[in-house]
């Protein structure tokens, strides 16, 4: 959720100093994957065991035999580096017509042998008037790999005298032997080999598992990237670093901001006053006093939306909230659909919020004093006007609530936290209030509630104890905690009074026992932890606030 992202950027990009011991990272089994040796650790973005499928090297290929693994388990590999040598299994390769015309000769019959580049037959161009134009073209045997040997013509799909069009399949060949190499899809670690040497696999079958990903870390004053095992990636260092998403991460070099790729290489120049992470395919950037968006494309930056916004939030579900200038272009078709029934068609002033599409055009009028991100097709907004209550709108801009609310926060799972007086409740998208079933005795009002994950949301009772509510309003995990975080990757950071931090499972038992003085939430299977120093309690989370 956006609150998570905002807090992560506030912590990671600000380089907040920690008075206690070093940070490391654990996986969901509680194994320390990255040693506790860093002053600050950001969120991991990657995959600890991504399946590597056998590619379809040639059209019609059914499978292959693993001849030899060129890398061993646990070994680091770079993107594009050969991992294994394979022998292709009975691939049938199409032979296509080089031009349109008539097949005049079949030189190599079905069952005959040919080598790449040799002639299989001829095609004559029909209807050519120019006496000097070439009329006869050879049908060449195609290449099928870097070490192409001989091939057998399986069958002819066209016979002599048949008309063909350019690119049409005229025959099929099968290589006598075709060797190929499986290349690493990204830089990372070869975690596990699933198909041993000599074994056969079908196209698309997982033959190995790769560990791939990046973590921004700080040691002293320097920020840099490490992989999923804690090994430093490249020698470059930065003054501040964000999380790698969408192929790039925001970095600060001196007083300027830019982006780097997953290998730590600067993409273009650091020419921005501020940059944020990629969300929804676009990253927000600031030049002077205006915000715009860029995209990562073909290894470079593309200016997707010019910097014309006073303020801009990240894209979520295809829309981004912006405080827009008056001269913004509007998607006329969208505007017609949204506002054809409204009497007031005048544009709002410059100091108002609306939503834009990835094209940069306005999707809603600039008519909100506040605008939150879309979650499950709903966004909490406050219309302009003194004392206006918060409402939920759908992705077409239609107001979907009727009550008067002082607070509305999307929790995920089509649930919303609502506030009328001082306390919070939970309702669904139809404004049906979810009655909180008391754990014992009379029901106390909720002082705070957080986002849902694994069907559970952290919630705070009036007595200050935290527990976890399920979607039906019952306590899935009874309130007994001094602090409670959100569930991510099936685990939630929690702390009982006077105890250390651990990670809960959805059934309320400890998935990782309380052994840590400091923790953060899981991301893609890794979580920052520290066992040194005194146990930190941290701030008391608030509804709509930061949920680290």
pLDDT digits (tens, 9 = 90+) for 30-76: 999 999 999 999 999 999 989 999 998 877 778 899 999 999 998 88
408 vs 420: CA distance, rounded Å? 9
Greatest extent of the chain over all pairs of C-alpha atoms, in Å: 100
Residues 295 and 326 in one domain: no
- Tell me: do 325 and 307 sit in the same domain: no
Residue 413 lies in a domain: no
Question: In this structure, are 384 and 347 located in the same domain?
Answer: yes
Q: Are residues 220 and 131 in the same domain?
A: no
Query: The domain containing residue 158 runs over which residues?
Result: 93-177
Half-sphere exposure of 278 (CA within 13 A, CB side): 21
Residues 287 and 348 in one domain: no
Write phi, then psi, for 338 (nearest 5 degrees): -80, -35
Cα dihedral angle (498, 499, 502, 504), rounded to 10 degrees?
A: -70
Residues 225 and 251 reside in one and the same domain: yes
Instruction: State residue 9's pLDDT score.
Output: 44
| Residue (of 489, 517, 487) closest to 502 by Cα position | 517
CATH label of the domain that carries residue 160: 2.40.50.100
| Domain-embedded: residue 535 | no
162 falls within a domain: yes
Q: What is the rounded CA–CA span in Å between residue 294 and residue 358?
A: 10
**Is 167 in the same domain as 117?**
yes
Examine residue 416 and state whether it is found in any structural domain, yes or no.
no
- Looking at the structure, do residues 270 and 287 belong to the same domain, yes or no? yes
Last-in-domain residue among 393, 424, 443: 393
Q: Are 526 and 243 in contact (CB under 8 A)?
A: no
Residue 7 lies in a domain: yes
pLDDT (tens digit per residue) in 86-109: 988 777 788 999 999 999 999 999
Q: Give the residue from 273, 293, 311 where a domain finishes.
A: 311
**Which contacts of 478-485 are long-range, i.e. CB under 8 A and separated by 24 or more positions?**
478/439, 478/508, 479/439, 482/537, 483/537, 483/538, 483/540, 483/541, 484/450, 484/458, 484/460, 484/541, 485/450, 485/458, 485/519, 485/521, 485/541, 485/547, 485/548
Tokens at 344, concatenated = 């007031």
Question: Residue 55 domain-assigned?
Answer: no
| Within a domain: 402 | no
pTM metric for this prediction: 0.77
Q: Same domain, yes or no, for 230 and 301?
A: yes
The verdict on 219 and 293 lying in the same domain is yes
- Number of domains comprising the chain: 4
The span from the CA of 32 to the CA of 251, in Å, is 27
Do both 305 and 227 map to the same domain?
yes
In a domain, 542, yes or no: no
- Answer with the one of 288, 311, 334 that is the final residue of a domain: 311
Q: Does one domain contain both 217 and 307?
A: yes
Tokens of 139: 């049908």
pLDDT at 366: 87
| Residuewise pLDDT in 10s, the chain (548 residues) | 444 444 444 444 434 434 578 999 999 999 999 999 999 999 999 999 899 999 988 777 788 999 999 999 988 888 889 999 998 877 778 899 999 999 999 999 999 999 988 999 999 998 766 777 888 999 999 887 666 778 899 999 999 999 999 999 999 998 877 788 999 988 888 989 999 999 999 999 999 999 999 999 999 999 999 999 888 988 899 999 999 999 899 999 999 999 999 888 999 899 999 999 999 999 999 999 999 999 998 889 999 999 999 999 999 999 999 997 655 555 444 433 333 333 333 344 445 999 999 999 999 888 999 999 999 999 999 998 888 999 999 999 999 999 999 999 999 999 999 998 888 999 999 999 999 887 655 566 899 999 999 999 999 998 999 999 999 999 999 999 999 999 999 999 999 999 999 999 999 999 999 999 999 999 999 999 999 999 999 899 999 988 87
Residue 19's pLDDT is: 53
Take residue 115 and report the two structure tokens written for it. 């080598």
Token couple for 509: 């038992």
Q: Is 3 helix (H, G, I), strand (E, B) or coil?
A: helix
């Amino acid at each position: 959720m956006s609150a998570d992202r905002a807090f992560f950027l506030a912590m990671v990009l600000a380089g907040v100093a920690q008075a206690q011991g070093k940070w490391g990272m654990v996986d969901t089994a509680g194994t320390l994957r990255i040693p506790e040796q860093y002053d600050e650790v950001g969120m991991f973005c990657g995959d600890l065991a991504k399946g590597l499928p056998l590619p379809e090297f040639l059209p019609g290929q059914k499978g292959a035999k693993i001849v030899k693994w060129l890398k061993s388990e646990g070994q680091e590999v770079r993107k594009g580096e050969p991992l294994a040598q394979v022998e292709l299994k009975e691939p049938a390769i199409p032979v296509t017509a080089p031009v349109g015309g008539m097949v005049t000769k079949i030189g190599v019959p079905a069952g005959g042998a040919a080598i790449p580049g040799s002639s299989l037959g001829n095609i004559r161009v029909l209807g050519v008037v120019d006496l000097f134009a070439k009329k006869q073209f050879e049908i060449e045997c195609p290449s099928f790999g870097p070490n192409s040997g001989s091939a057998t013509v399986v069958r002819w799909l066209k016979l002599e005298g048949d008309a063909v069009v350019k690119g049409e399949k005229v025959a099929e060949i099968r290589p006598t032997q075709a060797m190929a190499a499986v290349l690493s899809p990204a830089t990372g670690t070869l975690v596990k080999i699933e198909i041993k040497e000599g074994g056969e696999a079908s196209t698309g079958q997982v033959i190995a598992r790769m560990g791939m990903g990046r973590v921004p870390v700080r040691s002293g004053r320097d920020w840099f990237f490490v992989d999923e095992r804690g090994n430093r990636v490249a020698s470059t260092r930065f003054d501040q670093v964000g999380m790698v998403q969408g192929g790039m991460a925001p970095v600060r070099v001196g007083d300027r901001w830019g982006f780097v790729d997953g290998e730590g290489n600067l993409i273009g120049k650091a020419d921005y006053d501020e940059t944020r992470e990629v969300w929804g395919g676009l990253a927000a950037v600031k030049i002077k006093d205006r915000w715009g968006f860029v995209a990562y494309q073909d290894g470079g930056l593309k200016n997707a939306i010019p910097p014309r916004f006073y303020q801009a939030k990240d894209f979520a579900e295809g829309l981004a909230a912006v405080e827009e200038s008056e001269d913004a272009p509007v998607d006329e078709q969208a505007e017609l659909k949204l506002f054809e029934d409204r009497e007031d068609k005048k544009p709002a002033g410059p100091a108002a919020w609306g939503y834009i599409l990835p094209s940069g055009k306005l999707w809603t009028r600039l008519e909100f004093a506040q605008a939150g991100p879309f979650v499950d097709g709903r966004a909490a907004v406050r219309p302009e006007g003194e004392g206006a209550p918060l409402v939920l709108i759908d992705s077409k801009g239609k107001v979907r609530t009727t009550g008067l609310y002082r607070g509305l926060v999307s929790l995920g799972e089509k649930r919303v936290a609502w506030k009328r007086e001082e306390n919070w409740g939970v309702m669904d998208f139809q404004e049906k209030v979810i009655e909180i079933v008391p754990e014992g005795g009379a029901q106390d009002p909720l002082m705070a509630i957080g986002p849902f994950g694994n069907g559970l949301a952290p919630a705070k009772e009036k007595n200050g104890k935290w527990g976890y509510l399920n979607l039906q309003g019952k306590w899935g995990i009874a309130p007994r905690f001094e602090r409670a975080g959100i569930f991510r990757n099936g685990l939630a950071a929690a702390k009982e009074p006077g105890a250390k931090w651990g990670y809960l499972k959805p059934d309320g038992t400890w998935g990782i026992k309380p052994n840590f003085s400091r923790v953060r939430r899981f991301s893609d299977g890794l979580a920052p932890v520290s066992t040194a120093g005194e146990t930190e309690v941290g701030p008391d989370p608030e509804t709509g606030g930061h949920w680290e």
